[in-house]
Structure 1
């Protein structure tokens, strides 16, 4: 809940709750909420969560809104409600969970490949995403289902229904959202477990950022020669998720971490496919023709004592400033 602080002569005296709304208040559809969540679920709303999205709801299909796998291959099902939905929404979501619990590995793989336009198997993609020593057996995929319902914080009947099934032993969670309209601007408030823990955007963070080698083998040289952090195509939005002062580690597929730099520039768009920020390198800058030296990904995980989700442009979890500075020191030993 958001409260307005009122006071007198510099003394805080009172707090008043601020009116909130839901998506239907602005004429928005559930698909708008779904797209908003889907596009931000990993890098903003669940910044430290390791989830591998495998597909979204298709039009005219009886499916939940978003499906993802966790590290152990269990299915996480997201059902989104833009306005008051009542307990019937939970019954619908439970049917989705029941149906998906009976899906074969082959069916899930077909859905994943249609959604991602990927030609590699789901278990191979899962192993790469979570940097597992061994890929899971197909029979280990979808052994358990977890249901997450995202809805308006004012929907009491929906909350009560979720609580009932949770007490009955069903793996189900309710995540509330609120929309505020303040000074002509709209604000989205979201509560992600545990304890709604998010890093303060004003804090310096360390980010492992992919060089987009799969997009273009030459992209790394554009970054090195121009002193930039770049991203392209659908991944270009990730450039907006780092800020001035953040420390970025250039993650080069097949090698490891090859450089570190401090973000110093605002977001720029040289064309419709690219976004970039200027950076100041904190380690030696690579040049064409030089051998590519790198700190292997396994060593990065070992040194930071973190298990990263590798299958995205920004690798989560983030590092705090102290962790990032320590990693720079270790990276210099490799470079």
Structure 2
């Protein structure tokens, strides 16, 4: 639930009014478009590449996406309260699309992205995979993950999901709720599914940005010179909008480590890139520091006791780990 914080009345909780997408003029297709462009935020721990969205009047999944290993994610979206037969629908899609070959997926991808050269090439570029980590055609769609996105869950749906999970099926529900304020503003909240309770995930507020030096050394240098964090082209450029005022941002160079760091201003600038308008999103960083010696990935893992997915354009780091990295840099790399 979401509540107002009233600076005058600090003793009582005033709940925001619940509503639904239909009441605020949103269609199921609008929710689908929102998710396709923001999968990295709704599934913060997963970096997914959308490869297909439902076409009108076709019995197809709402969204198909891949992770870096080639695992296929099958989404079923509902604008209304979920029912247990939603599970039967998504499992039916799983039976059909789980048998698709790489060529089948590529043909679907071409419908979603007509200008694409090949699915495997775009997959390699999307996840920034090198020759050692890139996957082959036969690795695609070896496993599937089912996701139901719905406005609330009822008891039958919870029971059905728990049943299928116990059998070993990779199935989850993502619950969203829509609210309206007294000023007629509309809010949406996404929660990941828990078999015991709905859990509100706290948005991490510190980030590591891969500058993509290997493929674009000029843009890497531009970030250091202009003291900014930047990303280019859809969907990667949109990740810059996740950085808010006061967030710690570490610039990471592949093969080297963290080479610079600063504090987000919260202001996203949209600029021309290679002759195309608004294809660079960037944010100036305050307290910008270029390290005298890069902080290697091995050292980052050592002091935080964590692994990091450096192949992503931008990924979040919780406050405890980012503070450890920041402190180590201040003490050893300046």
| Coarse TM-score class (shorter-chain normalised) | 0.7 to 0.9
Alpha-carbon contact 2:231-2:281 (below 8 Å) kept: yes
Distance 1:251 1:223 in 2: 11
How far apart in 2 are the matches of 1:262 and 1:80?
37
| Residues 1:229 and 2:229 aligned together | yes
Deviations 1:109-144 (A, max 9, x none): 555577573657379839956889655565554333
Residue 5 of structure 1 and its aligned partner are, at CA, apart by 8.5
Q: Which moved more, 1:176-185 or 1:102-111?
A: 102-111
Query: What per-residue deviation string (whole Å, max 9, x for no partner) do you get for residues 8-53 of structure 1?
Result: 97544xx5654322222223221210111222221x2222x12332
Q: Which segments of 5 or more consecutive residues in structure 1 lack a partner in the other structure?
A: 287-292
* 1:297-308 pair list within 5 angstroms: 297=297, 300-308=300-308
In 1, the alpha carbon distance for the partners of 2:82 and 2:326 equals 49
Higher relative contact order (CA 8 A, sep 6+): 1
Q: Distance in 2 between matches of 1:16 and 1:284?
A: 46
**Unmatched tracts of structure 2, length 5 or more:** none
Could you tell me which residue of structure 1 aligns to residue 242 of structure 2? 241
Aligned to 1:53: 49
Q: Quick one: distance in 2 between partners of 1:81 and 1:37? A: 12
**Matched-pair contact (CA < 8 Å) for 1:20–1:181:** yes
Q: CA deviation at 1:304?
A: 3.5
CA distance in 2, matches of 1:103, 1:256: 39
Q: What is the deviation of 1:218?
A: 2.4
Q: Which residue of 2 aligns with 1:35?
A: 33
Query: Any conservation in 1 of the 2:211–2:252 contact (CA below 8 Å)?
Result: yes
Partner residue, 2:284: 278
Q: Secondary structure at the match of 1:308?
A: coil
Residue equivalent to 1:25: 23
- 1:267-288, CA deviations, whole angstroms, 9 ceiling, x for partnerless residues? 33455513332213453379xx
Which range is displaced more, 171-180 or 224-233?
224-233
CA separation of 1:115/1:196 partners in 2, compared to 1, >3 Å: closer, same or farther?
A: farther
Change (3 A) 1:303 1:126: farther
CA contact (8 A) 2:177 2:188 kept: yes
Name whichever of 274-283 and 33-42 sits farther off: 274-283
Deviation at 1:150?
0.6
User: How many Å separate the matches in 2 of 1:5 and 1:282?
Assistant: 34
- Residues 311/24 of structure 1: CA separation in 2 closer, same or farther (3 Å cut): farther
SS in 1 for 2:19: coil
- Per-residue CA shift, 1:49-83, capped at 9, x if unaligned? 12332412242553312233456654332111122
SS in structure 1 at match of 2:46: coil
